[in-house]
Amino acid sequence: MEPQENPVEVTSEAAAEEKEILKEVLTRPKPMATTTEPAQSIAATPESDTLQVSDDLWEKAKQLWQEYFGEGKKLNLTIIIAVIATIPVLTATSLLLDFLNKFPLLPSLFELVGFGYSVWFVYRYLLLANTRKELTDAIIGLKDKVFG
């Protein structure tokens, strides 16, 4: 077996430099603490670095969220949710109507109900001027309620 060398060799120059640095640190004036909290270590720990990085990432994420969905931009998120929610509803409705359309009397009954409702709607809201005004006011009120 060969003798292993010590990877850290202490020379007289290195020892002199260490003594100078130590003397400089010890003679440096110490700052006065202004709070009653205990003094914190000057050296940063890996935990504080990790916390700082995660805080920075969190702030950046919050800033990006506010940029895309912040005040005044809620409409985008509402529209996205509404579109995503209507896809399964429309699919289920289509499947249900296809199933009901296979019965012999139901398609004729659905047409009769649709025709009757159309006649009632024209008579109730479109025939006279004051009822048309009532319909437009109701639509504007609903629009204001939904879109603010």
What is the arithmetic mean of pLDDT over 62-74?
A: 71
State the residue range of the domain holding 82.
46-102
pLDDT digits (tens, 9 = 90+) for 79-122: 778 888 999 999 999 999 899 888 888 889 989 999 999 999 99
Please state, rounded to an integer, the average pLDDT across all residues of the chain: 77
> What is the pLDDT at residue 7?
47
Last residue of a domain, one of 84, 102, 120: 102
Q: What is the spatial distance between Cα 131 and Cα 124, in angstroms, rounded to a whole number? A: 7
> What is the pLDDT at residue 80?
79
108 and 61 share one domain: no
Total of domains in the chain: 2
50 and 86 share one domain: yes
2-11, 19-28, 42-51: range with lowest mean pLDDT:
2-11
Q: What is the spatial distance between Cα 133 and Cα 119, in angstroms, rounded to a whole number? A: 19
**Predicted TM-score (pTM) of this structure:** 0.36
129 is a domain residue: yes
